[in-house]
Amino acid sequence: MNSTSPTPDPTDTARGDDNSNVATPPSRPSLWRDMSTSEDWWAIWCAGLLLAISFAVVWFGQPDNLSELLAASRANDDVTEAAAETVNKPISETPKLMEGAGVSTSEGTVSDDTTETLSASDLASETEAVAEDAVETKEESYEYTSPLKPFLSKPGKWTDNPLDAISSTWTGTLGVFLVIAALFAFANQTRGKSASAFLTAFPFVFLLATLAYWMSGQSVVKAYNLEYALWALLVGLIISNTVGTPDFLRPAISTEFYIKTGLVLLGAEVLMSRLLALGLPGVFVAWLVTPVVLITTYWFGQKVLKIQSKSLNMVISADMSVCGVSAAIATAAACKAKKEELSLSIGLSLGFTVIMMAVMPAVITALGFDPILGGAWLGGTIDSTGAVAAAGAVLGDEALEVAATVKMIQNILIGVTAFCVAIYWVTFVERDASGPKIGISEIWYRFPKFVLGFVAMSILFSFLYSSLTNGPELINAMIGGSTKTLRGWFFCLAFVSIGLETNFRQLLPQLKGGKPLVLYVCGQSLNLILTLVMAYLMFKVVFADTVTP
């Protein structure tokens, strides 16, 4: 984050012909040298390599008849869906439903002719039996998964027996360890650091990350939305604030490198085609309110609360208005925030998410909102994606679907947010207000390049998703079978590293005057009001007739 930010040089100016001062950069490393040594570029290379391999495995590993298998599976889903409806419908409606789905009985396809020859009770029992058979065959639905999936995983969920978390996932965890160790050792060596020092330290850091995953995998901990980031941070903090972080671990404590690599991997999950999943109402709720709240909260923090650290102000604003921890990570990296600022933002977000997850469904029920409006409100306001789903499910399936989809659309906003914040930061915040304008080359020099990788991966995989035959299945298999897992490990390693580098005393000044808390509360209040108004307008007034979840 802030460790690599170049600082502007006030003497670094030249007067242009139009009498306006434009900064010109001093001699800087060539692009080639920058690309072969800088952390930002290496994050792009590492994540790009992982994505290329993951996609190649999925692409070359697909069965020859994938299209046929998927078509048969969809037909099976149609039958199952119609059958499930049949079980719950009055007998008089069943023939039409079954015919529509092309369901065949032992007598042949259900048609008007057969209904004439069967008695009502015969028909009822026949169709019900077929319907139940069809529902049972749902498990046979085909889903293409990456061949890499068994070799890449993280400790799973456990309730009573702690060993449940690793009994079925230890090979996948070992696989992740080997992949990251090999890749980062190579990257370190190429960047002029010691691969052997990294390889000596990395097993211990990875072990701490595994411990954090294990802690977050306990069912009760998961149910309260206490994400692995929190435990990774805690594990690192405990060591650094008791016995101290041993020096030999330092070569593997690479917070920024892990975060940037994880973010470029995350880019592949930011699929633009998901944007219209709920049509225009979803876009308005998620993409209109969110930037307004983000900008207003940032402005409020600067002008009213006068928060000294602009990066802390921005990270809290993005974390609260976009989608919690993932947005905080992306924005913190884009605006080069301090590690303690990211930790504080995440702590605030998780604390409020636990409260909102429990309180909001009760408020919605008490106010008598319908599930669609309630779901949209939840999706646009609760920070964490998992907590949105949990709160939505309390209100029913409709609310769950709308809430989760609105949140997903907001998730996609991460890429745009990170890009815009990075541009704003290098153009306005890092510039001396009384100094001259900075030129394009200076903006390029200061711009965090990994954000380009993040956006590029988002565009590339959105294109592949939409344009390839069976693109959605291939990209989903790639994400679900490998890149999502690796991205999670990179973030977990990053938070362990933050903990190992942080002293509790460094966190305390950030809480000075309770301003971050006030900022969060005010921003979230605005978010609650604006999202409710917009959700009501979109789902109940403007598009009331067209919205069907």
Partner 1 sequence: MSDHDHSFRKSSCRVGALVGIVSLLSIVWLVILPAYARQPKMRQHLRWLDDQGIDPSAMYYTELEVMEDILAKQRLAEIRRKSP
For residue 496, give both structure tokens.
């362990």
Are the C-beta atoms of 152 and 482 separated by less than 8 Å? yes
* Position 242 contacts partner 1 (CB under 8 A): yes
DSSP codes of every residue in 152-171: S-----BSS-TTHHHHTTHH
* Position 160 contacts partner 1 (CB under 8 A): yes
For the CB of residue 97, give the shortest distance to partner 1 in the complex, in Å.
15
Q: For residue 193, give the amino acid letter.
A: K
Q: What are phi and psi of 108, to 5 degrees?
A: 115, -175
* Position 407 contacts partner 1 (CB under 8 A): yes
Three-class SS of 197-249: HHHHHHHHHHHHHHHHHHHHCEHHHHHCCCCHHHHHHHHHHHHHHCCCCCHHH
166 vs 185, which CB is nearer to partner 1? 166
Cα–Cα distance measured from residue 523 to residue 517, given in angstroms and rounded to the nearest whole number = 10
- CA 47 to mean position of chain CA atoms: 16
Q: Tell which one of 384, 462, 497, 524 touches partner 1 (CB under 8 A).
A: 384
Give the residue carrying structure tokens 């903990």: 499
**Size of the residue set binding partner 1 (CB under 8 A):** 56
* Position 223 contacts partner 1 (CB under 8 A): yes
* Position 472 contacts partner 1 (CB under 8 A): yes
Q: Across the beta sheet with 21-23, what order do the strands follow?
A: 13-15, 21-23, 437-438
For residue 134, give both structure tokens.
């069809």
Looking at residues 12 to 41 of the shown chain, list those that interact with partner 1 (rule: CB under 8 A): none
Residue partners of 388: CB distance under 8 A and separation at least 6: 378, 379, 382, 403, 404, 406, 407
With contacts defined by CB under 8 A, name the span among 50-58, 72-80, 175-183, 448-456 that binds partner 1.
Answer: 72-80
* Position 66 contacts partner 1 (CB under 8 A): no
Cα–Cα distance measured from residue 333 to residue 338, given in angstroms and rounded to the nearest whole number = 9
* Position 479 contacts partner 1 (CB under 8 A): yes
* Position 309 contacts partner 1 (CB under 8 A): no
Looking at residues 322 to 361 of the shown chain, list those that interact with partner 1 (rule: CB under 8 A): 323-326, 357
Cα–Cα distance measured from residue 101 to residue 159, given in angstroms and rounded to the nearest whole number = 41
18 vs 160, which CB is nearer to partner 1? 160
444 vs 504, which CB is nearer to partner 1? 504
223 vs 359, which CB is nearer to partner 1? 223
For residue 230, give both structure tokens.
């929190």
Q: Tell which one of 147, 162, 291, 439 touches partner 1 (CB under 8 A).
A: 162
Q: Tell which one of 390, 452, 500, 532 touches partner 1 (CB under 8 A).
A: 390
* Position 229 contacts partner 1 (CB under 8 A): yes
For the CB of residue 231, give the shortest distance to partner 1 in the complex, in Å.
10
40 C-beta neighbours (distance < 10 Å), count:
21
> Which DSSP symbol is given to 133?
H
Looking at residues 409 to 438 of the shown chain, list those that interact with partner 1 (rule: CB under 8 A): 411
Residues that bind partner 1 (CB under 8 A): 74, 77-78, 157, 159-160, 162, 215-216, 218-229, 238-239, 242-244, 266, 269, 274, 277, 323-326, 357, 384-387, 389-390, 393, 400-401, 404-405, 407-408, 411, 472, 476, 479-480, 484, 488, 491
